[in-house]
Structure 1
Amino acid sequence: MFRASGILKSAALILAFLLAVFLAFQLLEINVEFKLGSVMSRSLPESEAHTKPAVHKCGLSKACPPGHMAFKLTSGAASVVGPRMCLEDKLLMSSVKNNVGRGINIALLNGKTGELIKTAYYDMWAGDVAPFIKFLKEIEDGTIVMMASFDDSASKLNDEARKLIADLGSSAVGNLSFRDNWIFVGGKGIKTKTPFEQVTSPRHNLHASSPLIVFISKCQRSGVSFGLVPVEVHIPLSSQHPEDAHVHLCLFSIHICPMKSGFCLSVAYLRKMSPA
């Protein structure tokens, strides 16, 4: 009996010793890994230690200056990929949100605050243009209007609808044709044509669904204004002028035109810049 108790005591001591050794090695391994990690992070150059690229609002290539807001507007690609509208990193319309459709996709924004008022889309191939005309007539002064095409945005457009869009600042809607890719930002009550419009035709371009990326400037004292900062434009590759692929343009503002509603638009123009 005494022999059995001695064996049990010896076994308990051996187990305790092994457990202590195991715990010691575990603590030593953690400590070594921690020290090695600290040494490695200090020895790496700062550029290698922080390899994660910066993420800017709406996926733009660089951050907007303080007091400005950014948006990215992308037209649909044929009948496959829907349009996408993003403002200040907030997705307004996209296939993911399930609020886009064939035809003309529209987002209305408050011209003073930039807040989203409503979104809608109207089928310009198999739909009726009358509800679209009614929608355009009900837009209030001072409202920012974003439009993007998806598949066909022109077949059902009549002269009345085109004039209403032209009154919002569009200069291309008069010649908009079947399956042209078109994006546009204007406003109700605007007194001039907006510089924020792009249209490409699949008849002349190899990549007609390429997006137009622009920066929007926000004027805190007189509502929302456009065109006070450079814009980055990715122009689709033209089959006639392949050298114009991905042309870099710069937007130059002349002045701001404040209006009673609080909506204002800078008079601006685009100039082709030499590649860096």
Structure 2
Amino acid sequence: MMRKKAVLYLCAVIAVALLMWNLCKGPPIRDIKDVFGIPKAATVQTRTPKTSPKCNLSRNCSFDHFPFSITSGAADVVGPKICFDGKIVLSHVLNVGPGMNIVLVNGKNGKIETTDFFNLNYNQPKESAAYLRAIKPGTIVLVASFGDISTIMTDEVSDIFLGLGSSLVKSLKGRDNWVFAGYSGTEMKSLFEKMAVNDAKTNPYGEWPGVVELGGCFPRKA
């Protein structure tokens, strides 16, 4: 009996000695079962859920920017597409028409104010010029071509787009594809503009150039 007690006492001393040796050795014991054979409780890790970027962008925009994307029409068959802050505003079957498609957005709160389209058959160039001149300062202007917009792009209309920040509008020719995003009331050059030139040698759709698209994070108006 005394021998059994001595053995138990010796085992306890050895266990305590091993524990103290591991504590003094350096790094803490990662798993208590290394000493006592008892697994420790699992550590619960929580992660903040990730949100997918809006409008199919490759990254999320900061709070002071609006995510958007614009795709021009494909020839005169498939309509353009405009997405703003995660919402499809224009698509082939939603709010589009042949010619120059426009979306106006409040630059502060991101609210869609109006959508419209202009071409020579439905609207006179003077109507489109009057529409553009009436845009309030601080309004985000999103534009996508669908078909030939050269007939509606008079000198007056193109001058207005120059004031919105366009640098390509003066070079638009018949059946060129064009997408643009700019602010009303600023003379600063827009960073969001692309064009596909109508060229019979390179056109993927016969008499029509390829689709152009752009997207990014548009700064919110302070």
> Scaled by the length of structure 2, what TM-score is found?
0.69
Mapped pair 1:140 → 2:106 = no
Using a 3 Å threshold, how does the CA distance of structure 1 residues 158 and 69 change in structure 2: closer, same or farther?
Answer: closer
Mapped partners of 1:159, 1:210: distance in 2 = 25
Mapped partners of 2:160, 2:219: distance in 1 = 25
Q: Which runs of 5+ in 2 are unaligned?
A: 1-50
Query: Equivalent residues in 2 for 1:74-85 (5 A)?
Result: 74-85=71-82
1:104/1:124 contact within 8 Å kept: no
Total equivalences in the alignment: 166
Mapped partners of 1:195, 1:189: distance in 2 = 16
Q: Secondary structure at the match of 2:117?
A: strand
1:103/1:125 contact within 8 Å kept: no
2:179/2:214 contact within 8 Å kept: no
Bigger shift: 116-125 or 130-139? 116-125
1:192 deviates by 1.4
1:165 deviates by 1.3
Q: Secondary structure at the match of 1:162?
A: helix
Q: Secondary structure at the match of 1:131?
A: helix
Mapped pair 1:123 → 2:119 = yes
Mapped partners of 1:131, 1:87: distance in 2 = 26
> Scaled by the length of structure 1, what TM-score is found?
0.56
1:155/1:177 contact within 8 Å kept: no
- The residue type equivalent to 1:199 in the other structure is M
Q: Which has the higher contact order (CA 8 A, sep 6+)?
A: 2
Mapped partners of 1:87, 1:156: distance in 2 = 25
Q: 1:153 aligns with which of 138, 149, 172?
A: 149
2:15 aligns to what? none
- Percent identity for Structure 1 against Structure 2: 35
Using a 3 Å threshold, how does the CA distance of structure 1 residues 167 and 126 change in structure 2: closer, same or farther?
Answer: same
2:162 aligns to what? 166
Mapped partners of 2:202, 2:143: distance in 1 = 21
1:126 deviates by 6.5
Q: CA-atom RMSD, angstroms?
A: 2.0
2:213 aligns to what? 212
2:189 aligns to what? 193
Q: Which runs of 5+ in 1 are unaligned?
A: 1-53, 224-261, 263-276
1:216 deviates by 1.0
Mapped partners of 1:217, 1:201: distance in 2 = 25
1:127 deviates by 4.0
Using a 3 Å threshold, how does the CA distance of structure 1 residues 205 and 89 change in structure 2: closer, same or farther?
Answer: farther
- The residue type equivalent to 2:169 in the other structure is V
